[in-house]
Amino acid sequence: MNLLVVGSVALDTVETPYGKVEKALGGSAVYFSVSASYFTKVGVVAVIGQDFPEEHVQFLKSRNIDLRGLRREPGLTFHWRGRYSSNLNEAETLDTQLNVFEIFHPLIPEEYREAALVFLANIDPELQRNVLEQVTHPQCTICDTMNFWIGGKLRELKETLQRVDILIINEGEVRQISQEYNLVRAYQKIASYGPRILVVKQGSYGALLFTPSSIFSAPAYPLEKVLDPTGAGDSFAGGFTGYLARSQKISEDELRRAVIYGSVMASFAVEDFSLERLKKLTLKEIEERFAAFRRLTQF
Amino acid sequence: MNLLVVGSVALDTVETPYGKVEKALGGSAVYFSVSASYFTKVGVVAVIGQDFPEEHVQFLKSRNIDLRGLRREPGLTFHWRGRYSSNLNEAETLDTQLNVFEIFHPLIPEEYREAALVFLANIDPELQRNVLEQVTHPQCTICDTMNFWIGGKLRELKETLQRVDILIINEGEVRQISQEYNLVRAYQKIASYGPRILVVKQGSYGALLFTPSSIFSAPAYPLEKVLDPTGAGDSFAGGFTGYLARSQKISEDELRRAVIYGSVMASFAVEDFSLERLKKLTLKEIEERFAAFRRLTQF
């Protein structure tokens, strides 16, 4: 096992100006693992309910994703319902039903414990730390979080961050956790919490990578049509971490390329609803878009 | 004369979280021409009042800027008073006194009429068109505008745009003029108004360059401290246009480098109040920051 992800598997009901899906496949661990599966072998630790369609399980298996850590519990699958207005930048949450996710206690299967890379998707920081206690000397730990935990469990989150190498969060969360508007100063503060490396997701503006020795700025791919931004951040993290797991080297150069592969995967994810675009993706398309990012930035 | 700019010369009173200046040198034609003066010879067409300090005139002359088109009229100089809150992204205008700018009718001196490049800063689109009628076959015309004219004089603005090669405006203005949220589609619409080339200024997110054959994405330089964002857009345009005037070639490659030089000049402009940073700048510092943009974007 190269890469382990702990996060949510969900059924999402999403409405955008371009359409609507009902109880479609979603969740951070799903977007992450499907995206990463184009680069490496991924093991998933997550929980689903009795209602979770078998076809989705089969799809994940078809992507060669290891599901030994996916447990089916009595009850319903985590369900999120949201809506995007015309600028597609911010989701309005209409309903959240945690269901089986409410009692989720990640138990890392024996076979996953020596994973080289561990991605902690956006879950309770106490659970994230609990995962880190179950794995043995990972080469690199990568972590996501959100405003809800920064506001409500900051002390626990900071304890988790002490053991994290790379933090991947969005711009607003960077400012909230650091209490710094300026991103250069915000990185300095966040590095003092633990993570040496910070990736700032900026939606349609791209992403910034801060390391102790440099800053890297990556654009977003200018798409003519974005159908559904759900899962863009987790698809980014999946491409980023999946690429690092494949390269087995966390150097400055590889981190930069990983950010571009993350951006590539996010750009595909938003081209259709749910996992529809990622399902149909080919390695050739991924490499072509990587090349397009070069043309987009070269001067 | 390589490059002609028509715009405002102002005295600005600006307050940011980092300090305040009273009636400091400002205005679009000033930021533009000082920025461009590091690349080429610029001629200014603008108006000042009786109160405009002679030291500012001497400073502009010291930058080798041609002031034969700068007229001193009875009355006071254009005065803008504004404030930026902690995020420094949007100015709140507290007061605008047009003064002599109210009766500004750009008269292009004979010696300027054969300028290869003409930059129309953000003034009434009817005056912009009037300028274009006075110049003889410029190689390239570049134009700025703002929400005020898009909202109030759209018909006149569109007439001006029919004769413009490059439009440089900010993201919000792109959406307002095209009535398109998506920037790729917005460019297609704007190109149909006239300008083959569109530069979208995105503040701290950088800039996008749209041409008929490609899109280029440039980051902003990640500064640890921004003292005063006033004039960033005009400094950008000055670096962009000044570089094009020096290179005398409007190719795809040169346009991309011009966007980076624009970003370089904007990044310096915001490091201090008014023109303070641009005054002290050296060619070596400009080239060093250009190189820093390469390191910032390379993968």
Q: What is the mean pLDDT of each run of 10 residues along chain B (299 residues)?
A: 94 95 98 98 98 98 98 97 86 93 94 96 97 95 96 97 98 97 97 98 97 97 95 98 96 98 98 97 98 98
Rounded distance, CA B177 to CA B157, Å? Answer: 10
Judged by CB atoms closer than 8 Å, whether chains meet at B217 and A181 is answered as: no
Per-residue confidence (pLDDT) for residue B1, from 0 to 100: 65
Strands B3-6 and B215-218: unpaired
Contacts B175 to A, Cβ<8 Å: none
Q: Compute the Cα dihedral for A144, A146, A149, A151 and give only its sign.
A: positive
Rounded distance, CA A224 to CA A201, Å? Answer: 20
Contacts A220 to B, Cβ<8 Å: 217
Judged by CB atoms closer than 8 Å, whether chains meet at B299 and A206 is answered as: no
Per-residue confidence (pLDDT) for residue A31, from 0 to 100: 98
User: Which residue of B87, B183, B294 is in closest CB contact with A181?
Assistant: B87
The answer to whether the beta carbons of residues B33 and B27 sit under 8 Å apart is no
Rounded distance, CA B185 to CA B181, Å? Answer: 8
Per-residue confidence (pLDDT) for residue A1, from 0 to 100: 65
Per-residue confidence (pLDDT) for residue A89, from 0 to 100: 76
Q: What is the mean pLDDT of each run of 10 residues along chain A (299 residues)?
A: 94 95 98 98 98 98 98 97 86 93 94 96 97 95 96 97 98 97 97 98 97 97 95 98 96 98 98 97 98 98
Judged by CB atoms closer than 8 Å, whether chains meet at A183 and B223 is answered as: no
Q: Is B75 exposed, middle or buried (0-12, 13-18, 19+ CB in 10 A)?
A: middle
Polymer length of chain B: 299
What is the maximum alpha-carbon separation in chain A? 56
Which chain A residues touch B if contact means CB-CB below 8 Å? 86-88, 181-185, 202, 205-206, 208, 214-220, 222-226, 253, 256-257, 259-260, 294-299
Residue B21, min C-alpha distance to chain A (Å): 22
Per-residue confidence (pLDDT) for residue A274, from 0 to 100: 98
Judged by CB atoms closer than 8 Å, whether chains meet at B222 and A215 is answered as: yes
